[in-house]
């Protein structure tokens, strides 16, 4: 055995440092930005590959008259990742350095065969860089198995390198036995160290790529989510002029999703000229799935409430429809009410939703339940009534309000919210809602649930 | 939220802490991997559940054809279960 274990260890240490070097350079986010331009990419690839070769050469292990190094791996990686030109330049840098280091041996006549392997090895490095570039398509074709193809490539190229050296020795020494022994001594460590170097570094590049792709995917997802969020917001009624009238009531609603899109929704529309329908719902879970479900439910509610003769039958039928094909087992808690704007009579259904707060000089909650959350079991939903006083406040909200938690794991809770209602009962509907959302956000900045608030001030003028 | 698992034929999952949108997927994974015939959910140390948690209870109930018992429900959680009508849905 030509080389000792400690020499091999020395080579592996070199590989480790080079690997670390690759991680730092290639892993840096600015690397991608900087290398968008193809020419710059080739330039950087060549430089890094070349410097890699120089460093490896510098840290090689001396053996007989040559140095066993992983120098070739620099240009090889440059070739595999950057193409033949990149491989050529990296090879030239590393090759020229190899030539410079071994130059004295060419002049030194005591070294036999003449010039040792200086000239050969310098050229081999350049060729290996180019050849790696030529075979890069084959290596990169199958990204999953790229490391194995790179391993085969490095072994083949280094066998080629050894073969050329072998032939050179036979020609110059005319001693087959000596040449064969020399190659046999050097080959195992040479092949093994280069193979390990190449394999590890490609493996690291693959891992970095995976990580980078995941980041890109996240950015794409973010963009798609933003679009979805915009669509969702556009589907919730905008509080334009509070439905064009301010004398019979004022109303404002807003939803603040915990993720970009939420499962909460609200709606308000006229059933006829004197009856206003208001809806606040909360679909189980958050995110895209529940947002889509919410869209469906919101549309169904509007359709059925407009068609059916009563709120009871509308909600009962929507529930029946939702149970069909509900494989995802989503459900919706819902408050739906119809206010007769002439009389102030509120007819409402509460399907598993948190009870609204009502203030008319006295604060109370509308805590009657009509039935379970929608979408799970068949049920007959029965409506209740409440006579709204003039200048009363009706606040419908989702559990994101009361369930908001601060860093001490303390809930915002119903009592705080009631206090807020009392203190802000005279604000405009818009200020009431916006300020409440701000207060809740301030209380629990790490929002885990969607927060929706709808406030209606019944004014009773005709 | 923490989940303590015991039993084989009848698995007992003891839930501790808060079951919300963030922690619900953990319970969902646990339920998805269950190979048992029946399940007991012990909620003694569960401080809170959101609708995301209720949905997982529902999923477990469907998966095990209703062979699920929910025990030791704290007052805080019972309020949520009753309000949403899940007491009737899950037969509690």
Tally Cβ neighbours within 10 Å of residue B20: 20
At residue A199, the pLDDT reads 86
Least confident window among A265-279, A288-302, A375-389, A410-424: A288-302
pLDDT of A3 above 60:
no
**b vs e for B34-63, b when ≥16 Cβ sit within 10 Å of the residue's Cβ?**
eeeebbbbbbeebbbbbbbbbbbbbbbbee
Give the DSSP letter string of A426-460: TS-HHHHHHHHHHHHHHH-SS--S-EEEEEEEE--
- pLDDT tens per residue across span A322-347: 999 787 888 999 999 999 999 999 99
The answer to whether the CB of B57 falls within 8 A of the CB of B90 is yes
Tally Cβ neighbours within 10 Å of residue A441: 13
- pLDDT tens per residue across span A193-226: 888 888 888 888 888 877 777 777 777 777 777 7
pLDDT of A244 above 70:
no
Report the gap between the CA of A360 and the closest CA in chain B (Å). 24
Contact assignment for B51 to A282 by CB distance below 8 Å: yes
**Among the listed residues B15, B60, B16, B20, the one whose alpha carbon sits nearest the alpha carbon of residue B37:** B60
The answer to whether the CB of B45 falls within 8 A of the CB of B67 is no
State mean pLDDT over B43-62. Answer: 90
Which residue in A has a C-alpha nearest to residue B82's C-alpha?
A: A352
**b vs e for A261-284, b when ≥16 Cβ sit within 10 Å of the residue's Cβ?**
bbbbbbbbeeeeeebbbbbbbbbb
At residue A316, the pLDDT reads 97
pLDDT of A38 above 90:
no
Report the gap between the CA of A285 and the closest CA in chain B (Å). 4
Q: How far apart are CA A69 and CA A89, in angstroms?
A: 19
> Which residues of chain B does A351 touch, with a Cβ-Cβ cutoff of 8 Å?
85
At residue A393, the pLDDT reads 96
> Which residues of chain B does A409 touch, with a Cβ-Cβ cutoff of 8 Å?
18
At residue A5, the pLDDT reads 64
Tally Cβ neighbours within 10 Å of residue B90: 20
Q: What percent of chain A has pLDDT over 70?
A: 89
Highest mean pLDDT among A76-80, A335-339, B50-54: A335-339
Which residue in B has a C-alpha nearest to residue A371's C-alpha?
A: B85
pLDDT of A238 above 80:
no
Q: How confident is the model at residue A262 (pLDDT cuts 50, 70, 90)?
A: confident
ipTM: 0.86
Report the gap between the CA of A369 and the closest CA in chain B (Å). 7
Q: How far apart are CA B18 and CA B63, in angstroms?
A: 23
- pLDDT tens per residue across span A146-188: 888 888 998 998 898 888 888 888 888 888 888 888 888 888 8
Report the gap between the CA of A152 and the closest CA in chain B (Å). 41
pLDDT of B30 above 80:
yes
The count of C-alpha atoms lying within 13 angstroms of the C-alpha of A323, restricted to the half-sphere facing its C-beta, is 13
At residue A350, the pLDDT reads 97
Q: Does B52 reach chain A within 8 Å, measured CB to CB?
A: yes
> Which residues of chain B does A257 touch, with a Cβ-Cβ cutoff of 8 Å?
none
At residue A260, the pLDDT reads 67
Bond from prior residue into A178 cis (ω within 30 degrees of 0): no
Q: Does B79 reach chain A within 8 Å, measured CB to CB?
A: no
Q: How confident is the model at residue A43 (pLDDT cuts 50, 70, 90)?
A: confident
Which residue would you say has higher pLDDT here, A313 or A56?
A313
Helix (H, G, I), strand (E, B) or coil at A391: coil
pLDDT of B35 above 60:
yes
Least confident window among A223-237, A311-325, A396-410: A223-237
Q: Does B78 reach chain A within 8 Å, measured CB to CB?
A: no
Which residue in A has a C-alpha nearest to residue B49's C-alpha?
A: A403
Q: Would you state the torsion angle of the CA atoms of residues A34, A39, A41, A47, taken in this order, to the nearest 10 degrees?
A: -110
pLDDT of A112 above 70:
no
Contact assignment for B89 to A354 by CB distance below 8 Å: no
Helix (H, G, I), strand (E, B) or coil at A327: coil
State mean pLDDT over A305-323. Answer: 95
Q: How far apart are CA A161 and CA A125, in angstroms?
A: 9
Report the gap between the CA of B18 and the closest CA in chain A (Å). 9
> Which residues of chain A does B48 touch, with a Cβ-Cβ cutoff of 8 Å?
403, 411
**Among the listed residues A269, A305, A265, A267, the one whose alpha carbon sits nearest the alpha carbon of residue A284:** A265
DSSP bridge partners of A249: A458
Contact assignment for B89 to A409 by CB distance below 8 Å: no
Could you say which of B48, B52, B89 has the minimum Cβ distance to residue A285?
Answer: B52
State mean pLDDT over A354-358. Answer: 96
- pLDDT tens per residue across span A118-157: 777 888 888 888 988 888 888 887 777 888 888 899 899 8
Phi, psi angle pair for A243, to nearest 5°: 65, 25
**Among the listed residues A454, A459, A457, A462, the one whose alpha carbon sits nearest the alpha carbon of residue A239:** A454
Q: How far apart are CA A454 and CA A269, in angstroms?
A: 13
State mean pLDDT over A441-462. Answer: 88
Residue A68 CA from chain centroid, whole number: 44
pLDDT of A1 above 60:
no
């Amino acid at each position: 055995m030509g080389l000792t274990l400690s020499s091999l260890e020395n080579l592996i240490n070199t590989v480790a440092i080079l690997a670390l070097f690759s991680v730092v350079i290639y892993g840096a986010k600015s690397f991608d930005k900087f290398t968008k331009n193809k020419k710059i990419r080739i330039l950087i690839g060549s430089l890094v590959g070349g410097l890699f070769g120089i460093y490896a050469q510098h840290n090689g292990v001396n053996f007989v008259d040559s140095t066993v190094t992983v120098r070739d791996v620099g240009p090889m990686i440059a070739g595999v990742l950057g193409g033949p030109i990149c491989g050529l330049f990296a090879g030239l840098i590393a090759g020229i350095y190899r030539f410079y280091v071994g130059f004295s041996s060419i002049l030194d006549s005591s070294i036999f065969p003449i010039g040792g392997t200086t000239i050969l090895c310098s050229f081999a490095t350049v060729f290996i860089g180019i050849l790696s570039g030529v075979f890069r398509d084959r290596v990169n074709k199958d990204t999953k198995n790229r490391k194995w193809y790179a391993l085969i490539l490095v072994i083949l190229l280094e066998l080629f390198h050894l073969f050329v050296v072998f032939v050179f020795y036979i020609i110059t020494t005319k001693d087959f036995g000596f040449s064969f022994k020399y190659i046999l001594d050097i080959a195992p460590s040479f092949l093994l160290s280069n193979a390990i170097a190449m394999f590890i570094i490609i493996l690291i590049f693959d891992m970095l790529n995976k990580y980078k792709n995941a980041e890109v995917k996240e950015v794409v997802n973010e963009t798609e989510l933003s679009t979805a969020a915009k669509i969702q917001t556009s589907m919730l009624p905008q509080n334009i002029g509070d439905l064009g009238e301010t004398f019979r009531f004022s109303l404002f609603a807003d939803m603040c999703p915990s993720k970009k899109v939420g499962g909460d929704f609200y709606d308000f529309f006229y059933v006829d000229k004197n009856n206003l329908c208001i809806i606040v719902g909360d679909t189980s879970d958050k995110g895209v799935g529940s947002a889509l479900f919410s869209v469906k439910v919101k549309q169904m509610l509007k359709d059925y409430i407009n068609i059916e003769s009563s709120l009871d039958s509308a909600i009962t039928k929507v529930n029946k429809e939702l149970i069909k094909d509900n494989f995802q087992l989503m459900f919706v808690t819902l408050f739906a009410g119809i206010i007769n704007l002439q009389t102030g009579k509120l007819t409402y259904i509460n399907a598993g939703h948190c009870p609204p707060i009502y203030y008319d000089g006295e604060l109370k909650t509308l805590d009657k339940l009509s039935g379970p959350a929608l979408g799970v079991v068949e049920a007959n939903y029965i409506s209740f009534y409440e006579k709204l006083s003039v200048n009363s406040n009706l606040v419908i909200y989702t559990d994101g309000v009361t369930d908001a938690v601060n860093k001490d794991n303390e809930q915002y809770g119903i009592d705080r919210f009631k206090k807020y209602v009392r203190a802000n009962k005279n604000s405009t509907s818009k200020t009431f809602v916006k300020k409440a959302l701000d207060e809740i956000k301030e209380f629990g900045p790490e929002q885990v649930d969607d927060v929706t608030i709808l406030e209606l001030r019944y004014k009773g003028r005709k | 939220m923490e989940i303590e698992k015991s039993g084989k034929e009848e698995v007992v999952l003891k839930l501790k802490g808060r079951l919300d949108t963030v922690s619900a997927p953990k319970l969902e994974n646990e339920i998805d991997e269950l190979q048992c015939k029946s399940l007991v959910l012990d909620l003694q140390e569960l401080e809170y559940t959101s609708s995301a948690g209720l949905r997982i209870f529902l999923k477990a109930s469907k998966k095990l054809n209703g062979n699920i018992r929910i025990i030791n429900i704290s007052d805080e959680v019972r309020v949520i279960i009753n309000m949403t009508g899940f007491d009737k849905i899950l037969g509690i």
